[in-house]
Every structure is written in C-alpha cells, then in structure tokens.
Amino acid sequence: MISEDMVIERQSMCIDVLGTTDNAEYKQVLSTEALLFLDAVVKKFAARRNALLALRDQRQLAFDNGELPDFRQDTKDIRDDKSWKVAPIPAALQDRRVEITGPIDRKMVINALNSGAKVFMCCFEDASAPSWENMINGQINLRDANAGTINYTDEAKNKHYELNDSPALLIARPRGLHLPEDHIQYNGEPIPGSLMDFALYFFHNYQTRAAQGLGVYYYIPKLENMEEAQWWDDVFNFTENYFKVETGTIRATVLIETLPAVFQMDEILHVMRNHIVAMNCGRWDYIFSYIKTLKNHEDRILPDRHGIGMDKTFLNAYSQLLVRTCHQRGALAMGGMSAFIPHKDPKVMDQVLAKVVEDKNRESNNGHDGTWVAHPHLVSTAMNIFDKHLAGKTNQLDFDSSYVGDITAKTLLEPCEGVRNEEGVRKNIRIALYYIESWIQGVGCVPIYGLMEDAATAEISRASIWQWIHHGVSLDDSQVFTASLFRKWLNEELDTIKIEVGQTRYNNGRFEETAALFDQISTAEEFAAFLTLPSYSLLTGQRIQTLT
C-alpha cells in the first residue's frame, strides 16, 4: 500500500518517466517505492558521473596529443603495499570456472541459466539494445529468474521453456557510464542508464536473493580509472545504507576492458575492496579500447581484427598481469569471451572446437579462475578444460605467476603485425552493417559469420576502419585505404547484403540508414567514442538521411 507520505515524496521527485507504463508489470517495475530509490541515487550520483565522463575526455585528449597510458605515480604506494587484500569472496562466487553471457531476452535468459555453466552474466549493456521495452522487460525477466518463476512459451514452435533444477548463478551487467536513458529524465536531462539498471535490479531482487542466502551481484563494465571505480563503490555503499543491509551485500566483478584501466587494476581493487570479488579480461572491448585510446598514434595501428588473438604479446601480457594482480589481492581472475557459435558443418565445427580448446587452455595455463562462452553448446568444452586443469579445486587463487617476470607498460602497449587486406575490410564493413542494423531494431546480440557479435566486436570493426582511413593505411596489395575507397566498398557490400538476406528482408530492414550512419562515423574527422551513442537516436525512433 502506498502511504500518504510516499505520495508526497513522489510529488517531490526530480525524475520524470517518459516511457510508456501502460502495462501492469511495467507499473510494478516502476513502482513508487522503486522510483523513490532511483530518484535518490540519480540525485546523489548523476552529476559526479558527468564529471567523470568529462575527465575521460581530458585524458583522451592527452593521448591524442602524444601521451601513452602508464602506471600512475600518485598511487604507487597502493601498488607497492602488498599487505592489503579485498574482502573474502562469498562461497557462492568462489567457483566460476565457466560463465555464459547473453542478453536480457526472456527465452535466452532461461536457456543460459539452464546451460550447465556456473554463472550466467545477463547483460543490459553490449549484448542488449537499450530500447525502453528491452530495458523494462529485462528487469521483469531477471526478477522472475531470481524468483525461480520465469517461463516462456514459443507459440510458433509449440515449445515451452522453464528453469531446470540447478540453474547458473545470475549476475547482472548494467550499462556503462557513457550510455543515457532518454525515457527517464532528471531535471529535463536523460539519466545515466547505468543507474537505472543498477537501481531497479537491486530494488526488485535484494530480498528474494537474501532469502536464498545470496547477495546482489553485478558485472561493472567500461571503467577507465580508480575514480570511476570509487564512484561505483560509493553507489554500492549508498544503496546498502538506504536499505539498511550489511556492507558487502553487493558484490562486483569489474571488467578490465579499457586500455587505461589495465594500468590501474591495483587501484580499482583497492577502492572497491569491500565489494569487489573478481576482475575479467573483456578482451573484445579491450582491443577496441586499444584502437580508440591510441587512434592518433601511427606506430600502433592494429591489423585486421580477425588476425588478433590472445597469443599476441600485448594481449597475453594483459591476461597475465590481470591474473597476478587479482590473485595478489585475493580476487578471482576471469578469462575472456569465446565468441564462436556452433556450425552445422562437422568439419567447420571441429575447427571451432579446436580454437576454443586452444584459447581456454591458454587461459587456464595463465592462471585464470574461469572463462566466458557465448553459446550453451560450448559450455561443456570449456568446462572440461577447466575441470581437468583445476583438478578438484574451485579456483586458482594459489596460482604462482612469478615465472612471468615483470610486465611493463612497453609490453602492454606493444603493437602487433597481421593482415590488412581488402577481404578483411569488406568483411568488417558487412559485420558492422549487419550488427548496427539489428541494434537499431532492438537486437543487441547477433550471430554473424560464425561468431556471436555484440557491441564490443562491432566496435572493433568500425574503429579499425576509421583509424585506417584517418592514417591512410596501405593495404597488403598496396592500395591506400581512403574515404572514397571505403565508400565504394560500402555501397558494394550493401549489394552483397541484399543478396545474402534477400530482397524482402532488405526492403523491410534499415540497412541503408545504417550505411549512412556508418559512413558518417567512419569518415568524420573526430572519432565517435562509442557507436552506440550516435545509434541510440535511431533505436529510439529518429531517422537520418540515407546514402545517395
């Protein structure tokens, strides 16, 4: 029952819900009590978030002008002090040998929870397009998943989905700091999407999870420095105080998926030490961030994304440093995503499995405590590797990484060689077009050419194209990659897509709009920090002029 005091408080709220609420379940998600909490969090933290984004821009300007990322001198004492550790890891989070990731779609949530993985990281961010309907339905789906009542019937296939007896542990990933939520505004401005996802998920699930002996667990994406980590830790403390629950009810795994963050892992662990339990190698976003951060450095241009694997020096060093740093501080070190998906051709599938095995063997040998896969059919393959390597243990916190030696800034920034050919560029163009076209229609996780593409992998494709145009890179056949050559191939690849999807799908889609946007962000003088920002207006209903 809503009290008179609560009605008065709601009238004093500064947030304004513009998205539709004409649905009983939407009204439950956006109840007065939930909105009062969201309002309090936004009032307390939105301005600081804006300041942190401005600080990002300042640091990027320094990198653009020739600086290179490095370990901070003002925090050397935190790194040098070997006595501190993070808070003990709850029992429920100690065995994470295989985690599956995926979007907030109801059927996919059920399939991921039933996959046999130890953990399901359910993603409001890179794997989900942030339409209003997706974001609110995602909250409903996760609420029902935590309650154990989630089910779904596919009428067309006459198939029913419900949870099995031993579902994976659920961890939610809110949006990154950069993404807005246009449908809820604070003093006339969109609120941070990260706060909406975080606050509504906590509000609707903390009591259900407490009854199961669990805390509320999050994956935190896209952090660049300890100040951003401190912001999140302050959000956690505020929330725990607001609901009068004990410190550590909230536990976080931080994705180290930006180049600046890899130089501040000790600092991030330190400021979040009461809440953090692990760090994760978000490898695809990390490659994207390498390109973005060093986009003006002509001596550090990466080759085609399909030739960049974790065996490259700078990526292997990143993996090894994350393991060492986490384990020294008592935190788990999670490996990265295998984006492969099953293939119907047995020979191709054998090749896929061989690549997954090689990747997961490397991670387990490097000391990672667990890994990620994108598809349920790969869970058992990854699980077998980690089961064998762990040999009865739950994790590798005792892993000895002294053999690695010092990992320097020079090693972490070392560029790599690889192909730069027309075939790769054309494939990257198609991948970006396919992905962005799906994203602006509300689908954020898309199987394309044998890989499960999300925003992170699409970002690599478009960032590489921008950088190659910007620097006039010579391809392997001596062609200079220019804006005009890109536009020629862009139009030709639109024709290829038309053939691949068929005339009906092409006409009913938004490929030409997507191509216009892709042309804009690829040839602009200034690099778009995230493709999801200019794409967001298309997702929410705006249109742009198509290519001529």
List active site positions: 173, 454
- Comparing C-alpha atoms, which of 519, 518, 520, 514 is closest to residue 501? 514
> Which residue, chain included where needed, has tokens 């029952």?
1
> What b/e sequence results for 213-252 when a residue is b if at least 16 CB atoms lie within 10 Å of its CB, and e otherwise?
ebbbbbbbbbbbbbbbbbbbbebbeebbebeebeeebbbb
Rounded CA-CA distance 343/90 in Å is 38
DSSP letter at 243 equals: T
- Comparing C-alpha atoms, which of 51, 44, 53, 52 is closest to residue 15? 44
Query: Three-state DSSP class for 326?
Result: helix
Query: Three-state DSSP class for 443?
Result: coil
| CB-based contact 153:160 (threshold 8 Å) | yes
CA atoms within 13 A on the CB side of 392: 0
Q: Which residues make Cβ contacts (< 8 Å) with residue 410, sequence separation at least 6?
A: none
According to DSSP, the residues that pair with 161 across neighbouring strands are: 152
- Comparing C-alpha atoms, which of 462, 446, 493, 519 is closest to residue 129? 446
